[in-house]
Amino acid sequence: MQTNYYFLRQLSQKLSNELTGLVLAECFSQEKDEILLGFCSEGKQWRDQKEFYIKAVLHPDFACLVFPKDFKRAGRNSVNLFKEIIDLKVLSVRQFENERAFALYFENDFVLLFKMYGNRSNIILFQGDEVIDLFQNKLVIDNNVVLDKLDRPIDQSFEAFQEKGWKALFPTFGKEITKFLTKNNTENVSWEQIQSILQALEKPTFYIKTLDFQPILSLIQEEGEILQTFTDPLEASNAFYYAHNKINVIDKEKGQIIKILQKKKTRTQTYIDKCYQQLAGLDTGVKHDEIANIIMANLHAIPERTEVIELYDFYRDQPIKIRLKPDLSPQKSAENYYRKSKNEKIEIEKLMENVEAKEMDLAEIEQQIKDIEGFETLKEFRKYLKANQLEPTQKVVETVQTLFKYYQFEGYEILVGRNAKNNDLLTQRFARKEDLWLHARDVAGSHVVIRKQAGRNFPINVIEKAAGLAAFYSKRKNDTLCPVIVTPKKYVRKTRDLGEGQVIIDKEEVIMIEPKL
């Protein structure tokens, strides 16, 4: 929660006390994705030791602010940044409302914005309303940030709570607080619970904890082994950063794999729950063969070209409204319902098979997590990963956390787009012409790409796995079977008149596949 709004709000209040009236004496970077700012009293810029330091660590997979007591600048490989505000005084510090961002306001109408958005964190320099420099130049979209639009006023009154629900009012809670509020698997969070949390967040204790072998900074006491507690946000942020750096290699790798497995476990459990909901609906609803029997028993009472008719349901001893096709005879309508009944039985059998397979997957994932937690030596741990095809790579981490959904299957890489814009990024910029491209036919969904391996044809098992993903990440995810387009990327193109995610396919094959992860 080092980038959580409620933590940053406490942090920015503390920074206001520390920085107001000081001047920025130096600002430089000597490590990729890291920047250091040194502040001092006016006229003391010549001293090597500055009075206050901010170190921003903005890696793609980790963002944090650190406040070292001292810092020795390297003689080489360091670059001066934001020269426009060197020797200018900090006039104020502003926390933006309901937003993970705060800003330092300098003389001459300069503003330095700290945008702490996880893997999209950045530091942006403004003069007036105009962006004049970015620390992370690759985040080009940050050139469009408007300071006056960063505040997010939200009506958080009791009346709004009753009308919209708590999640709409408090998007700033983040995953950990949301998980704490719903720990009993209920969405019925009371107004009193919300007020209790808000009161605690106003004067919080900051906890450094370990969860899944990883250190975390938390504002609540629940879950995880508590290592340290703090009341000062600067001290808490420092302790968290140092704990993150000190964690040993095996714990880092174990935590990384467990995080991936936990996500896979959650997705699998969600799929099982949805299957059971479908089965419950099929079990409790009126069966298609029962409707057909009711129609056949009342053929004499159904006028021609009827769309809806109310008949006696002798299964439940009550009236039932039945929808018919007006261009079909009642007997043909009954035949349709008999055919649907047959498909319904096939669907139930398929759902049961899916549940059984997914429950086996779930048990395997839980066993893998348990096994990984028990390893004490790096050699045994890595041998286990290799044997179970769970080996992490830098490419996996980068792809999963920053760009696309990423899967490995039988040695092949499978990339899945996250949304329409992300689909374009995957297909137009990352997919190569020899890669295989897949998409659920005739419905909105994710673009899926299988990376080509030199000298090898795509195995049918890999194609079916990717097709299952394309079906799952589409509007047909709840269908028993889904048609999926399979074609080499070279046959997929985009013209300027097409919207985000839309493409033209010049040559395709279609396979029927069950939607699944």
| Spatial CA neighbour of 124 closest among 141, 109, 111 | 111
Cα–Cα distance, 488 to 166 (Å, whole number): 46
User: Looking at the predicted structure, is the pLDDT value of residue 396 above 50?
Assistant: no
- Residue 101's pLDDT band, with cuts at 50, 70 and 90, is very high
Please report the pLDDT score of residue 289 as a whole number. 81
The arithmetic mean of pLDDT across residues 244-248, rounded, is 73
Q: Which residue has the tokens 């795509």?
A: 458
| Spatial CA neighbour of 117 closest among 137, 97, 102, 132 | 102
User: Looking at the predicted structure, is the pLDDT value of residue 401 above 70?
Assistant: no
**What share of residues in the chain are helix, strand, coil (percent, to 5)?**
45, 25, 35
- Residue 233's pLDDT band, with cuts at 50, 70 and 90, is very high
Query: Helix axis angle, 191-202 relative to 174-181, nearest 10°?
Result: 140
Write phi, then psi, for 185 (nearest 5 degrees): 55, 40
Q: What residues does 218 pair with on adjacent strands?
A: 207
User: Looking at the predicted structure, is the pLDDT value of residue 301 above 90?
Assistant: no
User: 3-state SS string over 400-420?
Assistant: HHHHCEEEEECCEEEEECCCH
- Residue 180's pLDDT band, with cuts at 50, 70 and 90, is confident
Cα–Cα distance, 403 to 422 (Å, whole number): 8
User: 3-state SS string over 181-229?
Assistant: HCCCCCCCCCHHHHHHHHHHHHCCCEEEEEECCEEEEECCCCCCEEEEE
Q: What residues does 208 pair with on adjacent strands?
A: 217, 228
Cα–Cα distance, 450 to 436 (Å, whole number): 5
Rounded alpha-carbon distances, angstroms, from residue 75 to 39, 72, 396 = 20, 9, 35
The arithmetic mean of pLDDT across residues 220-225, rounded, is 76
The arithmetic mean of pLDDT across residues 119-126, rounded, is 93
Cα–Cα distance, 506 to 441 (Å, whole number): 14
| Spatial CA neighbour of 59 closest among 21, 25, 31, 28 | 31
The arithmetic mean of pLDDT across residues 273-289, rounded, is 77
Task: Count H helices and E strands in the chain, helices first.
Answer: 13, 23
Q: Is 207 left (phi over 0), alpha (psi -120 to 50) or beta?
A: beta
Cβ proximity of 174 and 204 under 8 Å: no
